[in-house]
Amino acid sequence: MEPIKQKSRSMQAIVACCLLLIPLSVPSYSQSPPPRSADVALTFQRACEAFSKKDFKASQEEFEAVATAASGSELGIQAEYFSALSAWNLSPSDTTASAMQSWLENAHAFEMKIRSEGKVLVSPAWERWVESAHLILAKSEKQRGDFKEAENRLRQLAASSSPSSSGSSLRPSSVPVAWPSKSPCSPQVWLELGGLLRREEPGSDEALQCFEKAILACDRQPDTNNNLVYTLASWNAIQCFVSQNRWEEVNTRLQEFAKQDLSQELRIQSKLLEVAARKHLAEAVDVARELEPLVEIALVGNAPAQLIYDLAIALADAGANDRADEVFIQLAKRYPGTGISIEARLRLARSYAAKEDWKQAMQFAQEATELGCPDSWKAFAWYIQGKGHSQTGSPSEAIRCFEQGLAEGKATLELEVTLRVELLELLYQSEQWSKIIPHAERLLAMASKETTPPSWLPLVQLRQAETLANRNAWSDAEKLVSKLCRDFPEWNKADEADYLLARCCIARADFQGARERLDRIVLASEGSNATLRARAGWMTGETFMMQRRYSDAVASYERVLTIPGEEYWHAASALQIGVCAELTRNSDAAIEWYRRVQDRYPESPFAKTAGERLDGLVTSTKQAERIGSGKKR
């Protein structure tokens, strides 16, 4: 759409690889050294319960107490980890990430101590705790915009062999930290690394390889916590194929993807992408029918605003405009006041305008304006309102809206032209000649920069010439409209240009030249502009009146009466026929025509004049009768 082109949002929305909360449960006592006392055991138990209930504030405090009480032991270092993890879950920030960094340093020191004593770590989850701590640091680095550091960290986690002593830290000067060294990395590491690589290059082969490794790792490490990782890795792999325009592969992968236990959001996104893929492959697909089942899923569930919007756009593109409008309306209701809700209203305004339901179109455009639509959309919102007013018979309101759109909005070049041309016509119809000039000049200046004359150029030139004529600059008007006729001989409003040229002829008393042009208009086919034909016929009669050729004038006016539906010009012509009869001293005929104007056209502006002339004529007739009879007046 005009302000929104809309920059149509892609149906192929990408689920960002966000770091999942650590999918590890708090270990049981059997996985750790026995607590030093009953109090520590109870505290540890309370911490575990709070953590499982996601009461991270309580679990942080309880684990911290255990870490202090069991300092120097494996239980203490384990409790320290879960205390830092609770703090991160409670409030992800640089501060809580630094606590996890400290834990990695302490974990490294504890590992060195255990090895120096010839002992081994008891907890089998140690490697995963270390990895999870690094994943949290990687997320913190991404949040800060340190994408290269996050990538380096993830690459080290993904490495098959343990990092060397010189490579055990991201910065040579930093304190050594613990790294996983015995087991392969989790699928989540591959997922996160692939997401970072896709950030720089959406179709990256290396990113695709990372997602494929994540999928393979999930197959090798069956775990309910890996289900979401498997789904996200599969989806991101499909997105890589989309970026590479490998639509056959996209379509194949989507068939398998649909068999997974997907969220409502991914189910809708994958179907939208499947439809797009099949269209790219030139398959016959009934898009509206394919997407119909998604509508209820989107509207009944908790689908995000962007996804509902994408679904509505896809329906509209498929020609299911009424269904698309229903979705846009629900989107506007569900997310009122949001930017995407404003855009939905503008889409609705345009849709209802196309259906010529101007009341609804104006309502949605007005709502968008009142909700504070961005400057880039304001011009379009005002345009719809102005167009609606012009179509429903409120020209003054239409003028106000068009002027507001030009003043407030940052209209595109195309929309600015549309606004000015519409405004030009309304100003012309309301005879606001002085306001027409700046808009005509601006449009003509814009046209001069085009390589080929725009379709609206002759209309602007005509209105400018008519403005000059109405300011009595007849010579300038005639030059401009004559050039227009030469440049655009096939223009669909050539008869209007002819009419103006006839007026220019009359201004220099070339009545015959004027009548030749006016006759061409009157004698045009019945499918042409009837109002202009009637007006031209009336003007022909006026030229004869100026020459006192009253019988010819009457013939011209009577010809106007044969043009159906033009009540205004019928009334004007009937009045003039009466005047001709009066001027030729045919009082009876004049009285008959004046009464005809009063009886048939009582609402016309000519009825009052006819009544005044009728009264005068009747009075003078009675006086003449009294004078002729010799009676006293």
Assess contact for 44 and 66: CB atoms under 8 A: yes
525 versus 178: which is more confidently predicted? 178
CA proximity to 195, closest of 252, 122, 138, 259: 138
123: left (phi over 0), alpha (psi -120 to 50) or beta: beta
- The CA distance from 338 to 623, in Å, is 79
pTM confidence score: 0.69
Mean pLDDT of the chain: 87
User: What pLDDT does 633 receive?
Assistant: 40
The DSSP annotation for 228-249 comes to HHHHHHHHHHHHHHHHTT-HHH
User: What pLDDT does 26 receive?
Assistant: 54
Confidence band of 626 (pLDDT split at 50, 70, 90): low
| pLDDT surpassing 50 at residue 162 | no
| pLDDT surpassing 70 at residue 303 | yes
Confidence band of 224 (pLDDT split at 50, 70, 90): low
The amino acid present at 258, given as its one-letter code, is: A
CA proximity to 545, closest of 501, 519, 506, 513: 506
- The runs of H, that is alpha helices, within 335-432 are 339-354, 358-370, 375-391, 395-408, 413-429
Say how many C-beta atoms besides its own lie within 10 A of residue 615's C-beta.
11
Average pLDDT over residues 26-34: 48
| pLDDT surpassing 90 at residue 513 | yes
User: What pLDDT does 622 receive?
Assistant: 65
Identify the structural domains of the chain with CATH numbers, from first to last. Answer: 532-633 (1.25.40.10)
| pLDDT surpassing 50 at residue 632 | no
User: What pLDDT does 627 receive?
Assistant: 52
Cα three-residue angle 613-616-618, rounded to 5 degrees:
105
Residue with tokens 């400057």: 375
Tokens of residue 403, six digits: 């002027």
User: What pLDDT does 623 receive?
Assistant: 63
- The CA distance from 560 to 549, in Å, is 17
Tokens of residue 13, six digits: 């929305």
Confidence band of 169 (pLDDT split at 50, 70, 90): very low
Q: Kindly report the backbone phi and psi dihedral angles of residue 487, in degrees, each rounded to the nearest multiple of 5, phi listed first.
A: -75, -30
User: What pLDDT does 540 receive?
Assistant: 96
CA proximity to 570, closest of 608, 544, 612, 531: 531
Choice among 55-69, 305-319, 426-440, 609-623 with the minimum mean pLDDT: 609-623
User: What pLDDT does 52 receive?
Assistant: 93
pLDDT digits (tens, 9 = 90+) for 363-398: 999 999 999 888 889 999 999 999 999 999 999 999
Confidence band of 560 (pLDDT split at 50, 70, 90): very high
CA proximity to 446, closest of 494, 386, 455, 496: 455
pLDDT digits (tens, 9 = 90+) for 331-358: 999 998 888 999 999 999 999 999 999 9
pLDDT digits (tens, 9 = 90+) for 43-65: 999 999 999 999 999 999 999 99
The amino acid present at 64, given as its one-letter code, is: E
Indicate if the alpha-carbon torsion angle 87, 89, 91, 93 is positive or negative.
positive
| pLDDT surpassing 50 at residue 173 | no
- The CA distance from 538 to 123, in Å, is 104
Q: Which residues contact 456 (CB under 8 A, 6 or more apart)?
A: 417, 421, 443, 447
User: What pLDDT does 39 receive?
Assistant: 87
User: What pLDDT does 159 receive?
Assistant: 87
Residue with tokens 């009869």: 581
User: What pLDDT does 577 receive?
Assistant: 96
Confidence band of 168 (pLDDT split at 50, 70, 90): very low
User: What pLDDT does 562 receive?
Assistant: 94
What's the Cα-to-Cα distance from 183 to each of 135, 138, 198, 218, rounded to whole Å? 16, 20, 26, 14
- The CA distance from 136 to 20, in Å, is 9
pLDDT digits (tens, 9 = 90+) for 569-599: 999 999 999 999 999 999 999 999 999 999 9
Assess contact for 424 and 440: CB atoms under 8 A: yes
Assess contact for 581 and 549: CB atoms under 8 A: no
Tokens of residue 463, six digits: 């209105």
In the DSSP assignment, the letter for residue 34 is P
The helix/strand count (H/E) of the chain reads as 29, 0
| pLDDT surpassing 60 at residue 499 | yes
| pLDDT surpassing 80 at residue 174 | no
Q: Kindly report the backbone phi and psi dihedral angles of residue 252, in degrees, each rounded to the nearest multiple of 5, phi listed first.
A: -65, -45
- The CA distance from 251 to 585, in Å, is 91
The DSSP annotation for 544-589 comes to HHHTT-HHHHHHHHHHHTTSTT-HHHHHHHHHHHHHHHHHTT-HHH
User: What pLDDT does 409 receive?
Assistant: 66
- The CA distance from 197 to 204, in Å, is 7
Confidence band of 494 (pLDDT split at 50, 70, 90): confident
Average pLDDT over residues 36-42: 79
- The CA distance from 15 to 266, in Å, is 8
pLDDT digits (tens, 9 = 90+) for 439-490: 999 999 999 999 999 999 999 999 999 999 998 999 999 999 999 999 998 8
- Highest mean pLDDT among 42-56, 153-167, 606-620 belongs to 42-56
Q: Kindly report the backbone phi and psi dihedral angles of residue 36, in degrees, each rounded to the nearest multiple of 5, phi listed first.
A: -75, -25
User: What pLDDT does 29 receive?
Assistant: 46
User: What pLDDT does 369 receive?
Assistant: 93
Confidence band of 286 (pLDDT split at 50, 70, 90): confident
| pLDDT surpassing 90 at residue 160 | no
pLDDT digits (tens, 9 = 90+) for 261-285: 888 889 999 999 999 999 899 988 8
User: What pLDDT does 78 receive?
Assistant: 94
Confidence band of 418 (pLDDT split at 50, 70, 90): very high
